[in-house]
Amino acid sequence: MNTTGSRVAALAVVAILLAGCSDSGAPTAGPSTIPSSSVPISSTPPGTPTETPSQTSPTSQTPSQTPSAQPAACVDQKLQALTLREQAAQLIMTGISTNGMTSAERSIVSAQTPGGLLLMGPGGSLAHTRTAMATATRTSTVKGVRPFIAADQEGGKIQRLKGAGFDRIPSANVQSTWSASKLTSEAKGWGNQLKQAGVNIDLAPVADVVPASLRDSNEPVGALDRGYGSTPGPVGQHVVAFIKGMDAAGVMTSVKHFPGLGKVKGNTDFSAGVVDNVTVRGDDDLAPFAAGIKAGSDMVMVATATYARIDPENRAVFSPTIIQGMLRGDLGFGGVVITDDVGAAAEVASVPAGQRATRFVAAGGDIVITAKASLTSTMVNALVTKAQQDKAFAAVLKSSVRRVLALKNTRGLLSCG
């Protein structure tokens, strides 16, 4: 464990500075090393695989968001109106074609009404995307609850929408050379384009710190120019700037990939057995995530890699130690926790699809991304079945749904009388 006084002090300074910028489930032994001065600490003991308190507001860190009138009443109304199956579906984000749902995707979305849709494949113009997303939104809306519409719009090699009407966004490597104020201004413009296109979440920014010595060999981030730097300070400053710009445009963000993919070699989308043997609980390189949370990131995305020095028995997405202990406990994040893709990713291919959903929710997570739309019903069925058989899991599921609905209410995606 990284519990030396110098490391704690260094992380405290970094997090404070950044915040000011415009299935074992066994907890890892040792105390938290994220200082209370950097982010609020929740009352849940680190590593406790129990239900996260449902009263925690998932977007309390964002000062610019204006909740709807009587938000708790609206959320309660919707939670009670949804059947168990409809509640479970709120925890699934289903991949659909950026150019509009295929007939197969439309059938799945209509039948399952997932709580989120993820745009996959190359896209068309902004105008075409807006029309396609309007149809997708209508199809997936249930009882006045509209879906999250998400895209990977980081820039460089990771930009899903780049047809007419969308700026070509430079890579994070280029963005890292800009001032914080310039990045915020540019991100606001990119966010406005997403908003016009009917997209309400950008699954960005990347908060992973890639050491300079690993840049070329780090397949998921460094080799793709997705990182903001090799030290936590500059990375955190740009993470904050990006979040602020998107928020100013009314677009949600998801800082990723907790607790960091900067020290691995393989890309979990295409490789299995990806392990980080370096990162520890309370690592200095967690500071950009703390800063992103402080800046108001609506979601935090959890990686599918395994962290041998934190929880060697579970991939991060299935780890109560990482989700409950580190993210919700050490960093005090009470908002929506989302997976990296667990539908098509090679890293989790050996895990039955239904278990990918139930294990993540049981570990304290909320939204399960499946790039494969065909797995949607399998995942919803698994969540429903486990909730019917296990009262403790049913309570955890309900808390996750409440967090999702609370965020949707804050962002104007609930219609209450």
In the numeric block, the tokens 């997303």 are attached to 133
SS3 307: strand
Q: Quote the pLDDT of residue 18.
A: 43
As a whole number of angstroms, the distance between CA 84 and CA 241 comes to 39
Cβ-proximal residues to 242 (8 Å cutoff; 6+ apart), any chain: 175, 183, 184, 187, 204, 205, 253
* Class at the top of the CATH hierarchy for domain 5-22+62-410: alpha beta
CA angle at 393 for the pair 387 and 397, rounded to the nearest 5°: 80
The torsion defined by the Cα of 218, 224, 226 and 229, in degrees rounded to 10, comes to 50
CA angle at 273 for the pair 267 and 274, rounded to the nearest 5°: 40
As a whole number of angstroms, the distance between CA 291 and CA 20 comes to 9
Task: Report the DSSP beta bridge partners of residue 93.
Answer: 116, 369
End-to-end CA distance of the chain: 51
As a whole number of angstroms, the distance between CA 292 and CA 240 comes to 5
Q: Quick one: how far is CA 60 from the chain centroid?
A: 16
As a whole number of angstroms, the distance between CA 157 and CA 310 comes to 31
Q: Quote the pLDDT of residue 72.
A: 86
Instruction: Answer whether 137's CB lies under 8 Å from 149's CB.
Output: yes
- With b meaning 16 or more CB within 10 Å and e meaning fewer, what string describes 16-45? bebbebeeebebbeeebbbbeebbebbebe
Instruction: Answer whether 295's CB lies under 8 Å from 243's CB.
Output: yes
Cβ-proximal residues to 326 (8 Å cutoff; 6+ apart), any chain: 34, 46, 258, 259, 281, 286, 310
Q: Quote the pLDDT of residue 129.
A: 97
Q: Quick one: how far is CA 407 from the chain centroid?
A: 13
DSSP string, 238-282: HHHHHHHHHHHTT-EEEEEEET-STT--S-TTT-S--EESS--TT
Residues of the chain with confidence (pLDDT) below 50: 1-69
As a whole number of angstroms, the distance between CA 389 and CA 205 comes to 38
Q: Quote the pLDDT of residue 303.
A: 98
Q: Quick one: how far is CA 373 from the chain centroid?
A: 19
**Percent helix, strand, coil in the chain (nearest 5)?**
40, 15, 45
As a whole number of angstroms, the distance between CA 403 and CA 409 comes to 10
What length does the chain have? 417
As a whole number of angstroms, the distance between CA 64 and CA 348 comes to 37
User: Would you state the structure tokens that stand for residue 352, as one six-digit string?
Assistant: 């039955």
Instruction: Answer whether 394's CB lies under 8 Å from 362's CB.
Output: no
As a whole number of angstroms, the distance between CA 210 and CA 215 comes to 6
Q: Quote the pLDDT of residue 122.
A: 87
DSSP secondary structure code for residue 34 in this structure: S
Q: Quick one: how far is CA 245 from the chain centroid?
A: 17
Q: Quote the pLDDT of residue 71.
A: 74
CA angle at 183 for the pair 182 and 185, rounded to the nearest 5°: 65
Q: Quote the pLDDT of residue 70.
A: 66
